[in-house]
Every structure is written in C-alpha cells, then in structure tokens.
Amino acid sequence: MFKRVDEQAPKIMLQQQAHHHPEHNHDHERLVKVEQDLLSKNNAYAEQNRHYFKQQNIFVLNLVSSPGAGKTTLLVETIKRLKAYFPIAVIEGDQQTEHDADRIRATGAPAVQINTGRACHLDAHGVGHAAMRLALKPNSFLAIENVGNLVCPSGFDLGEAHKVVVLSVTEGDDKPLKYPDMFHAADLMVINKTDLLPYVEFDVERCIRYAKQVNPDIQILQLSATKGDGFSAWTDWLLARVVVADI
C-alpha cells in the first residue's frame, strides 16, 4: 500500500537543507548582490546615454521580441518609408553574425552590430559605445534591435525613449502572461505577421486581453511588416512621437 505523501515535505526538506547548509543562503545573497550591482551600473550608463540622446535630440526606440518575430523586417520597411523625413541609424544586437546589420545597411541606413556571445541582451554600456561609433547626427532616429529574448532585456534600460515589444502571430497568444516583465516594461506591443492569421491558431483578442492584464497602459498595433497591412498605423505612431521629440 502506498503511504500518503505529506504535501509539506518538500518545503520542510528545503528548510532543513537551508538550516544544515547555511552556505546556500550566503551564495544566494551574493548572487542577489551581484545582480543588484550589475543593474545599478547599467542604469548609470543608461542615464548617460539618455542625457546624450537628449542633448543631440535623438529619438531612441528599444525593440525587443522572441527570435524570428520580425524586428529586422519591421525596421527595414520603416527605414524605406521614413528615411526621407529624418536620419535613421540602427544598433543591431545578436549573439553572432552581422546578417541583420547587413540587411539594414542595404537600405542605406548606417548600422552597428553588437555580438553578445553568450549574453542574452544588450546593455547600456555597449549601446553607448555603439552610438559613438555611429556618429549619430543631431535630430535623428535611432532604433536599437535587441537580442531575440523575452526575458533578459526586460530589466536593462538602454537610455531609450520607449521599449517596443514585437510579437508575431506564429507564437502563442499567451506570451504576455508567460513573460509578464517584458510586456509590463513595454510602452507598445506590435502584433506582427497578421497576414498569417488564417493559417495559425492565434487569438488576437485574447492576446490583447492578456497584455492589458499585465500592463493596462500598453498600446497595441497589428500589422504585417512583409505585406504592409496596417503598417501606416506604426509609422503614424512613430512620427507622432518623433514630432514630440522635436526631431
């Protein structure tokens, strides 16, 4: 006969382990301290970036998403439509290769690639150096395409004016609930690849409801970067904020 397993056993076991192995607590405290120091240093660099961008009147967006959500295509099409209005430059973040930066350069816009290796996000220090390499023109628009990841980049301020999360319909509509920190940190959610909606199981209204549940103030746009459907809403959103920034 099977004996009843006490539901409190795992909790009691962990308490016993912590009691008998106080070094575990010390390791955890050291880890928290390292993370706090890292974020503090990053925030200081982010403020330096923000001060520089403000001085030069450079409007900055930080684009975040899962891998393959369509950030690069969104930027390529944005540059094609808006490069006549103001200078545009891009900082590309990937673990390896310069493929995305090459796609941006093909539009005529300058781009700097940051390869992060094993790191899963860009940081403010690296972005500051990349901005210097770009020799950004005053009164311009800088897009930062972060490493494809819905976890790590959420806590790292880069000095941007807005964080924009791109979610494609080929992903689950429950992403805002599964990765709430990212959607809470974002000012705008772009639902991309809407031309594929007839072929995938993605409930747009449910996704919007989940995003609003995590962040009631988040704005939402739906578009297809490849087909152009709804794209004017994105450029209108961008132009309205660029005007506010006096570019």
Q: What is the pLDDT of residues 45-95, one digit of tens each?
A: 999 999 999 999 999 999 999 999 999 999 999 999 999 999 999 999 998
pLDDT > 60? residue 184: yes
**208 — pLDDT class (breaks 50, 70, 90):** very high
In a domain, 24, yes or no: no
**3 — pLDDT class (breaks 50, 70, 90):** very low
In a domain, 124, yes or no: yes
pLDDT > 60? residue 25: yes
In a domain, 27, yes or no: no
The domain total for the chain is 1
Region 24-29: mean pLDDT is 61
In a domain, 51, yes or no: yes
Look up the CATH number of the domain holding residue 201: 3.40.50.300
In this prediction, residue 119 carries a pLDDT of 84
In this prediction, residue 33 carries a pLDDT of 58
Whether residue 173 contacts residue 203, with contact meaning beta carbons closer than 8 Å, is answered with yes
In a domain, 90, yes or no: yes
In a domain, 165, yes or no: yes
pLDDT > 90? residue 168: yes
Neighbours of 114 (CB within 10 A): 22
pLDDT > 50? residue 9: no
In a domain, 218, yes or no: yes
Alpha-carbon gap, residue 219 to 212, rounded angstroms: 9
Q: Which amino acid is at 73?
A: T
pLDDT digits (tens, 9 = 90+) for 185-203: 999 999 999 999 999 999 9
pLDDT digits (tens, 9 = 90+) for 123-149: 999 999 999 999 999 999 999 999 999
In a domain, 21, yes or no: no
Neighbours of 207 (CB within 10 A): 23
Structural domain boundaries enclosing 41: 33-244
Whether residue 63 contacts residue 225, with contact meaning beta carbons closer than 8 Å, is answered with no
